[in-house]
Structure 1
Amino acid sequence: MDDTTRGKSLLGEFLSTRRAQLTPADVGLPDYGDRRRVPGLRREELAQLAGVSVAYYIRLEQGLSLNASPQVLDALATALRLDEAERRHLHTLSGDARQRRRRLPAERVTAAVRQLVDALGDSPVVVLGRRSDILAWNRAGHALFAGHLAPDSPDRAATRPNTARLVFLDAHTRDLYVDWPRKARDVVGKLRQAVGEYPDDPHLASLIGELTMRSPQFATLWAQHRVRAWDMAEYRMRHPMVGELDVLQHSLPVPRGQGIRLVVTTAASGSAAQAALRLLNQTLQPAAGMSATARPTADMSATAHRAADTPARVVPPVQHS
């Protein structure tokens, strides 16, 4: 499949899938109680809502019309009830807004990026590539998200961790999120955005295929064509060493980083979560006379909650085979 055909199929899939997720009642159209052969809005109904001809919309959904105007795309986005991230995604898929690349630049962590990570101090930081591969992390980021993995695993390009694989295929990461289904939806939505921006990345296509085959949950979410923006998200994490903590994960694009982002985790000032993050950092700096591999475990959560003077439930360490 050539670049143009691939782009057109992505746009058509997005339009038809999102159309199927709406009912006449959702958009204020009469239903008349008729039985529908397919779920969701008919093409004619969506065309009516967007103010375009039925023939034109059909050609657009089938990939037979190129370079839809921004005004038409905005009208379709409004008719489909898309949010801002999904609206941008629609424009990206349209062909005129996409910047195709025959060869994507190699992902690397520059000295400037490492300097930025160092400047963030003890905050957990993970550096992600355009496919959500973990390109680097600081000690706190490693301890918070993937302490069960080798600290130097991001340095090996062929086998470096990928956050989507971890969320869907790794038991430790699944247990980290109290509301795992929401985290899973966010991860899939960000991958959808990446596919729109980098449709010619064979490694990204391979990742999607692998996750679709290995995870039924991923396959179900992927088929919904939902999009999530990289911005800020609040999660309740359940860490095996410091218990439950409410955190914010901030996604910061790296200037001239070709899709590279820093994900920085913070907690509210004075909260139990902030105390837990501090305690987690303390375990990375062994006291005198303690070996580098020795780590306090039994009373870490209780200590963190006492330090913040905030009641919180302590979760025992998660056991993995």
Structure 2
Amino acid sequence: MEISESNIKELIHKVSLLKKEIQKVIVGQDIIIEEMLVALLAGGHCLLEGVPGLAKTLMVRTMSQALDLSFRRIQFTPDLMPTDIVGTEILEEDHTTGKRFFKFNKGPLFANIVLADEINRTPPKTQSALLEAMQEFEVTYGGQTYPLDRPFFILATQNPIEQAGTYPLPEAQLDRFLLYIKIGYPTAAEEVAILSSTTGSKRNVVNPVIGAEDIKVLQSLTREVSISEDLIAYVSDLIRATRPDTTVVGYVKEWVRWGAGPRAGQALILTAKARALIHGRYAVIMEDLQTMAYPVLRHRVLMNFKADAENVNADHVTAELVKAISRPKVNI
């Protein structure tokens, strides 16, 4: 795609403005915000996990306000049906001819940004209704296929500590999320700032700074960011090392039941490209890959029973892999 250097810099500047608008409301969580923007530019979806009260929903809503895009929020509940999110056909009548016909009434999934709040509170039947939308960017109803608006970005949230009345996402659907982002508690200074800013009468206004066409251009630019063959080979080595049957890392054999598939490698390269672009670079460096390895692999490396018993998680495995897998010999 043909675009001038000045236009590229202007678009990257808009991304930095987008981040600043979100930070008007969200105190701290800079890494989380950046990972969400990475997923947006890479054209993927995010799963946000954190205990109640960490502003997961507020973060997504604020991001939607800073983007000049359509936004819908779906509160997932045990009684939610697939038609509640995809849409359904309704019977209508043509008053001029008297003929009746079915018309598809689009559900809340037909928006640029969709907040799937507490996604693990709805049964698998409804969860699976998102699969086609997340992967193919379209939905099928009654034999008819309906394309979704682009850009299309799903941000799902879930609570890790409350298991009663929840339905854990199956691995097939977890893999559809480009990034699995864990939100932790704020620092002491951030918590003081949160208490100060949220208990008064002043409310910060979030202004839209970037629209759909700019996002589409940025998503195209992301794929044009260069990555060396050596780094692609490094990604392949890293992903293959997550699999117990092909790994060279003993730590993996001890703790991992199933490793990541090729989609993880694709996700790692794409998100590294997006991170490079956000930082004003047109080529991927090792730091991009090693930073994005954690949210990319977090839900794609399945731990065994021993790991669960010893509280060893996928992040521990990723840290070991980053240390163990040889870097390219060239200076990148």
Shared fold per TM-score greater than 0.5 = no
TM range (shorter): under 0.3
The TM-score normalised by the length of structure 2 is 0.25
* Bigger strand fraction: 2
Report which structure shows greater RCO (CA 8 Å, sep ≥6): 2
